[in-house]
Amino acid sequence: MTSWEHPVNEGALCRKGWSAGGLVGSRERLTTPLLRDRSTGEWRAAEWDEALDVVADGIRRVQAAHGPDGVAVFGGGGLTNEKAYALGKFARVALRTSQVDYNGRWCMSSAASAGTRAFGVDRGLPFPLADLEQTDLLVLVGSNLAETMPPAARHLDRLRERGGRVVVVDPRRTPTAERADDHLQPVPGTDLALALGLLHCVVAAGGVDEEYVATRTVGFEAVRDAVAAWWPERVERVTGVPADDVRALAAALVAAERAVVLTARGAEQHAQGSDTVLAWIDLVLALGLPGRRASGYGCLTGQGNGQGGREHGQKADQLPGYRSITDPAARAHVAAVWGVDPAQLPGPGRSAYELLDALGTQEGPRALLVHGSNPVVSAPHASRVVQRLEALDLLVVCDLVMSETAALADVVLPVTQWAEESGTVTNLEGRVLLREQALTPPAGVRSDLDVLAGLAERLGSPGSFSTDPAVVFDELRRASAGGPADYSGITWERVRREGGVFWPCPAPPDDAWVDGGDADGVVPHPGTPRMFTERFAHPDGRARFHVVDHRGPAEPVDDAYPVHLTTGRVLAQYQSGAQTRRIRELPDTGPFVELHPMLAGRLGVDDGGLVEVATRRGALRAPARVVPTIRPDTVFVPFHWVGVNRLTVDALDPASRMPEFKVCAASITAVTAATGVAAATRVVEEASEARLATAAGPR
Ligand SMILES: Nc1nc2c(c(=O)[nH]1)N[C@H]1C(S)=C(S)[C@@H](COP(=O)(O)OP(=O)(O)OC[C@H]3O[C@@H](n4cnc5c(=O)[nH]c(N)nc54)[C@H](O)[C@@H]3O)O[C@H]1N2
Ligand SMILES: Nc1nc2c(c(=O)[nH]1)N[C@H]1C(S)=C(S)[C@@H](COP(=O)(O)OP(=O)(O)OC[C@H]3O[C@@H](n4cnc5c(=O)[nH]c(N)nc54)[C@H](O)[C@@H]3O)O[C@H]1N2
Ligand SMILES: [Mo]
DSSP string, 227-296: HTT--HHHHHHHH---HHHHHHHHHHHHH-SSEEEEE-HHHHSSTTHHHHHHHHHHHHHHTT-TTSTT-E
Cα 308 from chain centre: 11
- Mention every residue, 6+ apart, whose C-beta is less than 8 A from residue 40: none
Is residue 395 included in any domain, yes or no?
yes
Cα atoms in the 13 Å half-sphere on the side-chain side of 312: 35
Could you tell me if 160 and 270 lie in one domain?
A: yes
The CATH number given to whatever domain includes residue 396 is 3.40.50.740
What residues are paired with 610 via a beta bridge?
623
pLDDT > 70 in the chain, percent? 91
414 lines ligand 2 (CB under 6 A): no
What pLDDT digit, counting tens, does each position of 295-306 carry?
Answer: 999 999 888 899
Residue 398, classed as helix, strand or coil, is: strand
Residue 313 Cβ inside 6 Å of ligand 1? The answer reads: no
What contacts 24+ positions apart, CB below 8 Å, involve 44-50? 44/697, 44/698, 45/698, 45/699, 48/446, 48/454
| pLDDT tens per residue across span 88-123 | 999 999 999 999 999 999 999 999 999 999 999 999
CA–centroid distance, 301 to ligand 1, in Å, is 10
User: Is 271 part of any domain?
Assistant: yes
Is 550 a domain residue? no
Note the helical H segments in 7-80.
Answer: 15-20, 48-66
- Same domain assignment for residues 36 and 173: no
Rounded Cα–Cα distance for residues 633 and 596 (Å) = 8
Residue 452 lies in a domain: yes
Number of domains observed in the structure of the chain: 3
Residues 292 and 430 in one domain: no
Region 25-39: mean pLDDT is 88
31 lies in the same domain as 142: no
Query: Could you tell me the pLDDT band of residue 588, with boundaries at 50, 70 and 90?
Result: confident
Q: Quick check: is 14 in a domain?
A: no
What b/e readout covers 256-295, taking b as 16+ CB neighbours within 10 angstroms? bebbbbbbbbbbbbbbbbbbbbbbbbbbbbbbbbbbbebb
Q: Are 400 and 579 in contact (CB under 8 A)?
A: yes
Nearest CA to ligand 1 atom 22: 568
Q: Are residues 41 and 132 in the same domain?
A: no
Q: Any idea how long the chain is? A: 699
CATH number of 121's domain: 3.40.228.10
- Domain match, 126 and 76 both: no
Residue of 23, 378, 403, 412 best suited for mutating to test ligand 2, as the one with most atoms within 8 Å of CB: 378
pLDDT (tens digit per residue) in 345-368: 999 999 999 999 999 999 999 999
pLDDT at 576: 86
435 with 350, same domain: the answer is yes
Is 476 found in the same domain as 352?
yes
Of the pLDDT bands very low, low, confident and very high (cuts 50, 70, 90), residue 690 is very low
Question: How does the average pLDDT of the chain come out, rounded?
Answer: 92
Q: Is the CB of 302 under 6 A from ligand 2?
A: yes
Does the beta carbon of 76 sit less than 6 angstroms from any atom of ligand 1? no
* CATH assignment at residue 626: 2.40.40.20
Maximal CA-CA distance, the chain: 82
Nearest to 420 by CA among 83, 5, 177, 94: 83
Model pTM?
0.93
Q: Is any atom of ligand 1 closer than 6 Å to the C-beta of 452?
A: no
Supply the range of the domain harboring residue 187: 109-300
Residue 12 within a domain:
no
The DSSP element (H or E) to which 615 belongs, if any, is strand 610-615
* Ligand 2 atom closest to residue 406's alpha carbon, by position in its atom list: 44
Instruction: Please tell me whether residues 206 and 68 are part of one structural domain.
Output: no
pLDDT score for 694: 36
> Is residue 617 in contact with ligand 2, taking CB distance under 6 Å?
no
| 342, 473: one domain | yes
Domain boundary among 285, 300, 315: 300
Q: Note whether 375 and 463 are same-domain residues.
A: yes
| Ligand 2 neighbour 450 (Cβ under 6 A) | no
Residue 183 lies in a domain: yes
In this structure, are 377 and 446 located in the same domain? Answer: yes
